[in-house]
A and B are shown apart, each in its own frame.
Chain A
Amino acid sequence: MKIDKALLWSGLIGFLFLFILAPPAGAEEMSQGVEAASSGHVWWFWPLVLLLVTFVMGIFAVLGGVGGGVLFVPIISGFFPFHLDFVRGTGLLVALSGALAAGPGLLKMNLASLRLAIPVALIASTCAIIGAMIGLALPTNIVQIALGATIIGICILMLTAKKSEFPDVQQADRLSSSLRIYGVYQEGSTGQVIDWKIHRTPFGLGLFIIIGVMAGMFGLGAGWANVPVLNLVMGAPLKISVATSKFLLSITDTSAAWIYMNQGCVIPMLVVPSLVGIMLGSFVGVRILAVAKPVVVRWIVIGMLAFAGIKAFLKGLGIG
């Protein structure tokens, strides 16, 4: 209970902190000239704040069961003086690093399935390139409005989507059978050996076209969409879906990250503090996870996302 209260207060204090720090409305428009864009702080001020905020974000990402990227892009673009181009480039690298760190272990434990990931990744990574190119070609305010709308949509998805630990897949469809997408894993909590297979593969693969485009366009990791599609649509067990989704990000975000990097959207002074902050926060988050109430944390994360989504939406309209 104490932990939950502490988390609630830290979330509120974090938001107040962001409010105080938030650049005034229209700051971006004022900064058409590079000289005018200097914030007046010493150079290490914003990287240090970024480190602290991403540390808190890393804790909440683990506790709320979301990837770092989905929290990073709306919150940092809404409350920090960094342009959305650099925030998206950094967000992709944050999501990519998290996926790279988790991927090897998940593959070795046979929770992430390479056979399931390879066809999905080919579609998602190709579409992520298209999404990144669209996102970089569109005017910033349009991307910001679409980002806000997407984040609000993610909140609704988080509130309404149900999860199925072991979906009932009566029969594998023809495509997944011919691709031999099935497997076996051992449920750690019960020791039970679970055989799994999937269905509705063509429809599920089709949905990854949209997921890939959105991941590339907004620089979001796409775990929020991968998991429901793998679990609820294609019928993979929840653990296989979560693990394969995390691993998938290492491929999807790679393609989009290269586009952002080649276009100059990567500033190391933003990338490294963000990576360190999220990673340290994740370590702490994993330790708190054992004692925190997931429901309370989930509500805090949804609240943070909803607020950041509305802020992004209004910022895109020029009124936030």
Chain B
Amino acid sequence: MPDKAEARLEPGPEQVRYASILEKGMYVGLLLLFITFAIYALGIMRPYIPLDRISSYWSVNVHDYLHHANIKTGWHWVGMLHYGDFLNFIGIAILAGVTIICYLAVIPILLRNKDWVYATLAFLEVLVLSLAASGILAVGH
């Protein structure tokens, strides 16, 4: 009887898997972010925007920033990873992307349990987050 009560207190297998992947992704993302920031701030890799000019950009709106710095929106940062400042986007993208992986990982468990509604909800969430990440939703001032 106590075993049964204890079992009820335990999280379900999909929750355990989600938590495990989220934890790993969070640590990897944060670690990479701090390492790449050190590389950037210490000048180990040349930044796209020189450090002594960065304060010229952060007080203008994003449209002017992109225009004056000649930076393209969306996933163009991937082609600029050889610059110290853009290198930081690897860690940021992992932090912002780990949730999609967590959802993808729990869908098979939900399907195995014949939990069709939650499997569908999880799949829809993957679509929503992937759409946000895709960069095809363009907006501007």
Contact = CB atoms under 8 A, between A and B. Distances in A.
Interface of A: 23, 27-28, 31-32, 34-35, 37-39, 41-44, 46, 81-83, 85-86, 93, 96-97, 100-101, 103-105, 107-110, 113-115, 118-119, 121-122, 125-126, 129, 132-133, 136-140, 178-179, 184-186, 193, 250-251, 254-259, 261-272, 275-276
B117 interface: yes
Given A93-B92, A186-B9, A255-B128, A140 B61 contact: yes
A263 B22 contact: no
9 contacts: A37-B56, A97-B30, A114-B15, A122-B125, A138-B141, A254-B97, A261-B96, A267-B57, A272-B37
A34 B60 contact: yes
Contact of A255 (B8, B52, B56, B129): B129
A32 B60 CA distance: 7
Interface string B35-46: 011001100000
- How many chain B residues sit at the interface, stated as a range, is 35 or more
Summarize B's interface: helix, strand, loop or mixed. helix
B19 A262 contact: no
Interface of B: 5, 8-12, 14-16, 18-20, 22-23, 25-26, 29-30, 33-34, 36-37, 40-41, 51-62, 64-66, 68, 71, 73-75, 85, 88-89, 92-93, 95-100, 106, 117-118, 121-122, 124-125, 128-129, 131-133, 135, 137-141
A184 B12 CA distance: 11
B88 A268 contact: yes
Given A125-B125, A261-B92, A86 B62 contact: yes
Summarize A's interface: helix, strand, loop or mixed. helix
Given A39-B59, A272-B88, A133 B95 contact: no
Contacts of B133: 258, 262
Contact of A110 (B9, B51, B60, B99): B9
Nearest to A128: B132
